[in-house]
Structure 1
Amino acid sequence: MKLISKLSGPKQKLITSGIGVFVLILFSSFVMYEATKAKVVFAEDGEELTINTHKDTVGELLNELGVDVGEHDLLSHQMDALIQSGMTIDYVAAKDVTMTIDGKEKEYSTTADTIGAFFEENNLMFTEDDELSHKTSSKVEDGLHIDITTAFEVEIQNGNDKTTVMTTGGTVKEIINKADVSFDQDSNDKITPNLSEEVEKGEAIDIVRVTEEEKVVEETIDFDTETKEDSSLPKGEEKVITEGKNGLVTKTYMVTKENGDEVDRELIDEVVEDSVAKVVAVGTKEPKAQQASSNHTNHSSQKSSGSSGKTLTMKASAFTASCSGCSGVTATGINLSSNPNMKIIAVDPSVIPLGTKVHVEGYGEAIAGDTGGNIVGNRIDVHVPSRSDAYAWGVRTVKVTILD
């Protein structure tokens, strides 16, 4: 009791005052210590944390916070930058991204927010024809795996036309549809490879357009010429009894074309219209003048008519042995078909005997070697090589001089 009593005197008051002073000094020091701390904002991935610190550098502060800055992380300040009150330190941790392009895998680290930004960051460019597993607007998450299949060009030979289409693959049918090339599976078109086959890079598609159409072809059958002897006609004279008519073969074909070119022709129908032969009567009757000569009658009359040097004015037409149905052989047996340039005239034997050598104005020297149904009196027919020559001669009046 005495000890307590002693302590409760003036000495006790002195101790109590000393403790108060110590506490005050301690509190003041703490306040001063806290007051000297720098106030810093640390922002990580958009989340902010306000920190009061006595650390001198950014590196020391991050170490205090347990933040390990990696090679690909994004930090707004250098690690040795001095801490200043009121500063904001931005930090973005890099995310690991795995990207597989056409089966080839590669690892990336990025601080990009979106896949599109990640592509720009790594100079990666893709087209709208490429196939991406994610949209470019998608957010990049740590551990993201992006699969990309790049498009390749496929050439399509469409008949005689050519087109190309970009694709990441698929069947022939799918790629043809993508290229907006029309086709009918029920048609005869040939498509290589088959519609169900997968198209590989570097492979082309060939479409052969096959069409079938009927085609009618007409072929002429030339008529034959038949001759019949006729004793009622003067020798060498011809008369058409029946006009000839060409026959006709009508053939119908099924024509197959590939890309417009014919590759096959099949006969599916044939109709034949027979020809009709031309019948010509050939006279065998001997001329009266020739008969008289052979019987030695009217000898003086013939000699007078065929007297050498006598000149007659006569109407002259022209004929040719190259006409259709003509035999080409004269009444005296001269083959004009074999001698187209021979100078022969057809005469009325009662005026100019057959075999007489004459000179025809505008024609030259000739032999009276033929007769004709229309050659009567002062009328002759000069032989020329062709039908055009006959037309050119026409009908004219000429002087005919008897040479022998």
Structure 2
Amino acid sequence: MSKISMKNLFSGSLRSKRTVVGIISLILFVSVVSFVAYQGTKESVVVNANGKEQELLTHANTVGELLQQEGIAVSEYDKVSPSLNTKIVSGMTIDWEQAKEVTISVDGKESKVWTTESKVKNILEEANIEVTEHDKLSVALDAEVGADNKIDIQKAFQLTLVDGLEERQVWSTSTTVANFLKQQGIQLNEFDRVENDLEAVITPEDKITVVRVEKVTDVVEESVDFAVETKSDSSLLKGKEKVVTEGEEGKIARTYEVTKENGKVVDKKLKTEEVLKEPKTEVVAVGTKVVTATVSRGNSSSSKNSKEFYVTATAYTADCKGCSGVSATGLNLKANSGMKVIAVDPNVIPLGSKVWVEGYGNAIAADTGGSIQGNKIDVFVSSKQEANNWGRKKVRIKILN
């Protein structure tokens, strides 16, 4: 091949390459210009998805179309602002919060809700569930729901707490009696008693009773009665007594264990005794002398040794007011209603004296009376009618011995 042919061939090849390069460059230029022009027509928006912001350029017409293009599936419970049908405007911000399913258990009864709220308080308000300050929640009202998306509520109820002498109404949630007392800050002392089963579960309207038990030692000084020893004395009229030796009470210290429930003594046990002073026995002489009288209903008689004078005389019976039926000398007047007996002042007429009384006959001075003083006597009769018939009169009396 000649040199001219080779040169022509090489020049033709070079022109072909330049043509291809030019075409490619033109295509690239058109593409870039087209791309820039395309991109320039996109709207710039900010998407805040679950708290994460991202700036996007889009040709989407609505918010819903944009979220769909971004692979975000919006459920009926999700919160989107502005709404899905809102037209895209450059510079707008779109907020999307995905709803979560939360399980709410109230006293063991579960319900499920969908919500975009995170705070427990807001979630319960959406679910129309009211709680009081006494209710027990697994998560605090101001806290955010946990990763398990579960809220457990134990509703409080009222019951009666009796602590010793104090009774009051309190709030509690379902728990055992032991835990309830702990919640209420009730401290049990060594001997205190709870009337309820500590392991029982409390229910509304229950009554929890704590009995405060106290055991104390009480030392008491007490008197000890003296014994009375009687001795027969033939020089005293029967029925009369005379203290020969005065008795004296003893003294003893007794130690008791006293059990109190709610301040009231319910048991008292004697533990020890200590004699502080021995009692002194009282000795009493008891009269055994019996005056025997021979009584006649006949007319009066006298002797050369008799003493005669006038007295005021009244009458009484064995059943008169304040009468015992037994004379001062021991005569049983009720058993001997026909006996002739007069009550006298022993300083005027000695007891045991035989006497004659005008209008009454022979008798024995065997009785006394509180109102019989001086020259006054009371004659014994068998009936109230006889006493009324006797009345009050001045009579002559003779002391026969």
TM-score category of the 2 structures, normalised to the smaller one: 0.5 to 0.7
**Whole-Å Cα distance in 2 between the matches of residues 237 and 75 of structure 1?**
119
Q: Would you say the 8 A contact 1:156–1:164 is kept in 2? A: yes
Which residue is 2:201 aligned to? Answer: 200
Which residue is 1:74 aligned to? Answer: 79
Seen in structure 2, the aligned counterparts of structure 1 residues 180 and 30 have a Cα distance that, compared at 3 Å, is: closer
Q: 1:328-349: CA deviations, max 9, x gaps?
A: 414694749999xxx9541434
Q: Would you say the 8 A contact 1:130–1:151 is kept in 2? A: yes
Per the normalisation by structure 2, the TM-score is 0.61
Q: Would you say the 8 A contact 1:242–1:280 is kept in 2? A: no
- Give the aligned residue type for 1:209: R
Larger mean Cα displacement after TM superposition, 171-180 or 55-64: 171-180
Q: 1:103-133: CA deviations, max 9, x gaps?
A: 4444332211333433333344545665544
Residue 66 of structure 1, CA deviation: 1.4
Seen in structure 2, the aligned counterparts of structure 1 residues 57 and 238 have a Cα distance that, compared at 3 Å, is: closer
Is 2:400 aligned against 1:402?
no
Which residue is 1:160 aligned to? Answer: 165
Q: Would you say the 8 A contact 1:58–1:80 is kept in 2? A: yes
Match of 2:244 among 242, 245, 269: 242
Residue 75 of structure 1, CA deviation: 0.4
Q: 1:324-381: CA deviations, max 9, x gaps?
A: xx99414694749999xxx95414349x9735269xxxxxxxx994477xxxx95557
**Whole-Å Cα distance in 2 between the matches of residues 381 and 52 of structure 1?**
145
**Whole-Å Cα distance in 2 between the matches of residues 260 and 345 of structure 1?**
60
Match of 2:149 among 144, 148, 151: 144
Is 2:187 aligned against 1:182?
yes
Which residue is 1:119 aligned to? Answer: 124
Please list, as runs of the form range in 1=range in 2, the aligned pairs for 1:355-366 lying within 5 A after superposition. Answer: 355-356=356-357
Runs of 5+ consecutive residues of structure 1 not aligned to the other structure: 288-292, 306-310, 315-319, 359-366, 384-398
Residue 153 of structure 1, CA deviation: 5.4
**Whole-Å Cα distance in 2 between the matches of residues 228 and 321 of structure 1?**
31
**Whole-Å Cα distance in 1 between the matches of residues 330 and 50 of structure 2?**
128
- Give the aligned residue type for 2:242: V
Seen in structure 2, the aligned counterparts of structure 1 residues 382 and 36 have a Cα distance that, compared at 3 Å, is: farther
**Whole-Å Cα distance in 2 between the matches of residues 402 and 39 of structure 1?**
151
- The size of the alignment, in residue pairs, is 347
- Give the aligned residue type for 1:37: K
**Whole-Å Cα distance in 2 between the matches of residues 44 and 120 of structure 1?**
24
**Whole-Å Cα distance in 2 between the matches of residues 378 and 59 of structure 1?**
137
Per the normalisation by structure 1, the TM-score is 0.60
Q: 1:252-280: CA deviations, max 9, x gaps?
A: 56554444455445455677947524324
Residue 62 of structure 1, CA deviation: 1.5
Q: Secondary structure at the match of 1:118?
A: helix
**Whole-Å Cα distance in 2 between the matches of residues 136 and 237 of structure 1?**
95
Which residue is 2:4 aligned to? Answer: none
Q: 1:287-344: CA deviations, max 9, x gaps?
A: 9xxxxx9995227x64x52xxxxx6699xxxxx9979xx99414694749999xxx95
The percent identity for this pair of structures is: 26
Please list, as runs of the form range in 1=range in 2, the aligned pairs for 1:165-314 lying within 5 A after superposition. Answer: 166=171, 173-185=178-190, 187=191, 189-193=192-196, 197-202=198-203, 205-212=208-215, 214=218, 223=228, 228-230=233-235, 240=242, 242=244, 245=247, 252=254, 254-266=257-269, 268=271, 273=279, 276-281=282-287, 296-298=302-304, 302=307, 305=309
Runs of 5+ consecutive residues of structure 2 not aligned to the other structure: 1-7, 294-298, 314-319, 380-391
Residue 73 of structure 1, CA deviation: 0.7
Please list, as runs of the form range in 1=range in 2, the aligned pairs for 1:319-330 lying within 5 A after superposition. Answer: 328-330=326-328
Seen in structure 2, the aligned counterparts of structure 1 residues 48 and 274 have a Cα distance that, compared at 3 Å, is: same
**Whole-Å Cα distance in 1 between the matches of residues 247 and 321 of structure 2?**
21
Q: Would you say the 8 A contact 1:356–1:368 is kept in 2? A: no
**Whole-Å Cα distance in 2 between the matches of residues 46 and 104 of structure 1?**
33
- Give the aligned residue type for 1:208: V
